[in-house]
Amino acid sequence: MVTAEKRAELKATDASLIHRIVQRDESALAALYDRYAGMLSSVLNRILRDTQAAEEILQDIFYQLWRNAAQFDSSRGSLSGWLLVIARNRALSRLRRHNPASGDELSENTVVVASNLESSVAQQQLMSKVISALDNLPKEQRAAIELAYFEGLTHSEIAQRTGDPLGTVKTRLRSAVETLKRDLHS
């Protein structure tokens, strides 16, 4: 049986936890960390292939959330989506030796995620769905999507990396996003 304290923490919405962070409640940040650190750590490790760098960015993202939570408007976008976008952007910046993004990320990057990812069960279910959707893509389309998402490559850079014509790469990526949108959001 899950304890009452733990159950309440698991049930709290992201919006209420953000509100508590604005009121300087450290336990709310700890609860959001428990909720999303695994998910973010996954994408950071996949992009960077460096546990130490991934953990530095992970800590920095949550510290930024602690400092600037008041800027986050839950009615405009989802926290889980914002966290994923920022984690990916920062990991790719680190990979490409770009400067880290500015502190305005909270208000600038509005991200709308259709699924509610506040529970680990929802995250597990979405993971199965995404893996299965990617497995169903033709091999070349999947490779193109993974190069764009996990390595941050543009059309031209993918064409250069794979040796395929630019037009072919553009068609592959367009078809891939179209199929994924249909499979994951229909």
32-61: which residues touch other proteins (CB under 8 A)? Answer: 33, 37-43, 45-46, 49-51, 54-55, 58-59
Judged by CB, which is closer to other proteins: 120, or 168?
A: 120
Q: Contact region for other proteins (CB under 8 A) — 12-20, 29-37, 96-104?
A: 29-37
- Asked whether position 119 contacts other proteins by CB under 8 A, the answer is yes
CA angle (85, 90, 93) in 5-degree steps: 125
**Separation between Cα atoms, residue 32 and residue 80, nearest integer Å:** 10
| 110 phi, psi to nearest 5 deg | -80, 130
8 A C-beta contact, residue 93 and residue 99: yes
- Asked whether position 111 contacts other proteins by CB under 8 A, the answer is yes
Q: Contact region for other proteins (CB under 8 A) — 12-20, 62-70, 98-106?
A: 62-70
Single residue of 127, 138, 165, 167 touching other proteins by CB under 8 A? 127
**Separation between Cα atoms, residue 92 and residue 153, nearest integer Å:** 10
- Asked whether position 63 contacts other proteins by CB under 8 A, the answer is yes
Single residue of 16, 24, 98, 107 touching other proteins by CB under 8 A? 24
Residue 71's alpha-carbon distances to 30, 103, 158, 162, in angstroms, are 19, 10, 36, 41
Size of the site for other proteins (CB under 8 A): 78
Single residue of 92, 95, 101, 143 touching other proteins by CB under 8 A? 92
């208000």: which residue's tokens? 107
User: Identity (one letter) of the amino acid at 162?
Assistant: T
